[in-house]
Amino acid sequence: MERREHYLNVNYGIRSWLFTTDHKRIAWLYLLSVTFFFFIGGFFATLIRLELLTPQGDLVQAETYNKLFTMHGVTMVFFFLIPSIPAVLGNFLVPMMIGARDLAFPRLNLASWYIFILGGLFTVAAAAAGGVDTGWTFYTPYSSIYSNTHVALTVVGIFITGFSSILTGLNFIVTIHTMRAPGMTWFRLPLFIWAHYATSIIFILGTPVIAIALTLVGLERIFHLGIFDPALGGDPLLFQHLFWFYSHPAVYIMILPAMGVVSELIACFSRKRVFGYGFVAFSSLAIAVLGFLVWGHHMFVAGQSVHASMVFSLLSFLVAIPSAIKVFNWTATLHKGSVSYNAPMLYALGFIGLFTIGGLTGLFLATLGIDIHVHDTYFVIAHFHYIMVGGAVMGYLGGIHFWWPKMTGRTYPEVWARIAALVIFIGFNLTFFPQFILGYLGMPRRYHVYPPEFQVLNVMSTAGASILAVGYVLPLLYLMWSLRYGAVAGANPWRARGLEWQTASPPPTDNFDRTPIVTEGAYAYEKEPEEIYTFGKPAHV
């Protein structure tokens, strides 16, 4: 039987992968890389949770603990959460969902992966050389003057990796503007595309600011340029303004793509159009824009003026609105839908619940009076882990499962996938819900010791973390298993409506044998695919 040619078997060998310009192969390069960094970050988390089993500092010293939470944060934020969905699922799907053959700049795409790896190498080197102890937030003047750890090496690594983000965002914006298939108007685009467009705006306008902030820290350390030095009259808050101007929108980089995934999953597994498509699309843009106006809410107790704090607090309340709009619209989509509970849907439903909890606790933190009490406690840690792990990571896993047949031509084992989703959900809540309580009771973050009365909740949290770890290893195992032994998947095993499902699994190198022509919006589940899409002339090379 003749083997159909597709992007995976069109050529073989390491060179065909390391020099590829095919967005789908580049997505795989990223997938392997971010998975590697996820487990490195998880390793640091494991050590943290082990230390916190007991109130005393008996596993590691304080200085070592400082390095552990720093490396956990740096690795997870910059080398997993920020790239994961955009660079893996975005790279794979953006061209396909709009009916293009590739991104606008395929060589820049490959360059962005190499840049990512180079940045990662610097950071791994810094970790191997003894690590950094400043916290992933690099506050000055500790990071710029007083720390004796490998700050310069680490900030160089993050700076380099930032370019990777910028190139990805640039590629997405240009591609979405200029390379949509005939008939693919803006309001026929899948919400996944809107989400990635909004994310790309943040990549472009935010990343350079942390680049310059970290550059200035590096210059201060190496050349003694006294920009943040209080001894010269420098203002440490200047660093925090520059840092958070990016790092707050960065959290929207982490969540917006996951929201895009969730929109796709909810529609497919309810067999319905997403309710309020226009609202959901614009809410992505609103989150991207409003997200740039709230960064001072990280600085309420740092010495920022009360006036500025009040402004940032009010704007932080406003930014919750577009997120809430999405949650309401997803819920309305489920209503009277024909709902099935495959693994991707379990992740999507988990996302909606956990993101809502995380988001609501953000409102507590945005409230000046409450923030004074819970700032720098485990309440904050629980808040952002609910969003980043309960939200973004589950969105990522849901997307990986959903598009796995498209990417590999294989089906994953559904039973194991549902078990893993459940284990993750249970492990996650057991890990992080106690932390809300701990924080409210006053346990500060970034300390390796704590008062004995907090031990029970900490033990619960560590127990949850071990369950969560099992939950994360399971997909690693069965997805790899499926590559060889999984059932062969057809072009559209989910009977979904996106353009990416109207071509073979795995797709040919140029995605479509013939140029698609679009005549309907993205979620026309009341029609059959043949009624929505026609195909035109052969996609010429």
Partner 1 sequence: MSDLSIVRAHQFDDIEQQHDASWIGMWVFLGTEVMFFGGMFTGYTLYRNAYPQAFASASNHLDIWLGTINTAVLICSSFTMALAVRSAQLGERKPIINFLLLTILLGAVFLGIKFTEYYFKFEEHLVPGAAFNYEASLARPAEIFFSFYFAMTGMHALHMIIGIGLLTVLIIKARRGRFSAVYHTPVELVGLYWHFVDIVWIFLFPLLYLVGRHL
Partner 2 sequence: MSSGHVLSVKLYAVIFGSLIALTLTTTGVAFMDLGGGGLNAVIALAIAVLKALLVILYFMHARYSSRLTWVFAGAGFFWLMILIGGTMDDFLTRNWFGTIG
Residues near partner 2 (CB under 8 A) are: 177, 205, 209, 235, 237-238, 241-242, 245, 292-293, 295-296, 299-309, 311-312, 368, 372
CA 324 – CA 336 distance, rounded (Å):
20
Question: CB of 170: closest distance to partner 1 in angstroms?
Answer: 5
Report in angstroms how near the CB of residue 105 gets to partner 1 at its nearest. 7
Q: CB within 8 A of 299, min separation 6: which ones? A: 237, 240, 241, 244, 309, 312
Mark the segment that binds partner 1 (CB under 8 A) among 31-39, 240-248, 340-348, 473-481: 240-248
Q: Does 311 bind partner 1 (CB under 8 A)?
A: no
What is the smallest separation between the CB atom of 380 and partner 2, expressed in angstroms? 15
Partners of 202 in the beta sheet?
Answer: none
The binder of 211, among partner 1, partner 2, none, by C-beta within 5 to 8 A per type, is partner 1
Smallest distance, partner 2 to C-beta of residue 231, A: 19
The entry of partner 1, partner 2, none that residue 541 binds, CB within 5 to 8 Å by partner kind: partner 1
The smaller minimum CB distance to partner 1, of residues 203 and 275, is found at 203
Q: Which of the residues 142 through 171 are near partner 1 (CB under 8 A)?
A: 166, 170
**CB under 5 to 8 A by kind: which of partner 2, partner 1, none does 302 bind?**
partner 2
Residues 483 and 200: their CA atoms lie apart, in Å, by 31
Beta-carbon contacts of residue 405 (< 8 Å; ≥ 6 apart): 411, 412, 489, 490, 493, 494, 505
x/- mask, partner 1, residues 94-133, rule CB under 8 A, reads -x----xxxxxxx---------------------------
Q: Does 205 bind partner 1 (CB under 8 A)?
A: yes
Out of 128, 232, 336, 530, which residue is the one contacting partner 1 (CB under 8 A)? 232
Beta carbon nearer to partner 1, 17 or 105 = 105
Residue 212 in the binding site for partner 1 (CB under 8 A): yes
Distance CA(123)–CA(293), nearest Å, equals 30
- What is the smallest separation between the CB atom of 249 and partner 1, expressed in angstroms? 11
* 122/245 with CB nearer partner 2: 245
Residue window 77-96: x/- pattern of binding to partner 1, with contact defined by CB under 8 A: ------------------x-
Q: Cα(209)–Cα(241) distance, rounded to whole angstroms? A: 10
Beta bridge partners of 517: 534
According to the binding rule CB under 8 A, does residue 185 interact with partner 1? Answer: no
Phi, psi for residue 517 in degrees, rounded to 5:
-125, 125
Q: How many residues bind partner 1 (CB under 8 A)?
A: 44
Nearest approach, Cβ of residue 220 and partner 1 (Å): 8
Closest by CA to 391, choosing from 426, 431, 347, is 347
**Residue 304 contacts which entry, partner 1, partner 2, none (Cβ below 5-8 A, type-dependent):** partner 2
Considering only 97, 211, 256, 389, the residue that binds partner 1 (CB under 8 A) is 211
C-alpha distances (whole Å) from 437 to each of 53, 56, 204, 384, 386 are 16, 20, 37, 14, 14
d(Cα 411, Cα 405) in Å, to the nearest integer? 5
What distance in Å separates the CA atoms of residue 326 and residue 333, rounded to the nearest whole number? 10
Which is closer to partner 1, CB of 167 or CB of 255?
167
Q: Is 178 in the site for partner 1 (CB under 8 A)?
A: yes
Q: Which is nearer to partner 1, 51 or 102 (CB)?
A: 102
Q: Are 516 and 533 in contact (CB under 8 A)?
A: yes
- Minimal distance, residue 364 CB to partner 2, in Å: 16
Encoding tokens for residue 57? 């500092």
3-state SS of 167-227 is HHHHHHHHHHHHCCCCCCCHHHCCHHHHHHHHHHHHHHHHHHHHHHHHHHHHHHHHHCCCC
* 368: partner contacted, choices partner 2, partner 1, none (Cβ within 5-8 A by kind): partner 2
As a whole number of angstroms, the distance between CA 445 and CA 321 comes to 29
Catalog residues that contact partner 1 under the rule CB under 8 A: 95, 100-106, 166, 170, 173-175, 177-179, 204-209, 211-213, 215-216, 219, 223-227, 231-235, 238, 241-242, 245, 510, 541
